[in-house]
Amino acid sequence: MSKENSHKAEEFKGKAKAAAGKATDDESLQAEGKADVVQAKGKEAGEKAKDAARGVANSLKDSPER
């Protein structure tokens, strides 16, 4: 499983946990689920930033020197 898919799975798990907390009126479970979603989105954003930085580094490496 790719990291992106792993982060999406974590996000889905968090959403499910938050929904279960809401359905059972369990504020703790709902908050934990929301925290899981935020954490998964943060990890995904970090991966995207790393990919962008790699792209910039590769384009600079491949560009002709002035």
Residue pLDDT tens, the chain, 66 long: 687 789 899 999 999 999 999 999 999 999 999 999 999 999 999 999 998 999 888 888 877 765
Distance between CA atoms of 12 and 53, rounded to whole angstroms? 27
Burial (CB < 10 A; 0-12, 13-18, 19+), residue 61, is exposed
Contact in structure between 50 and 21 (CB atoms under 8 Å): no
pLDDT given for residue 58 in this prediction: 85
What is the model's pLDDT at position 9?
94
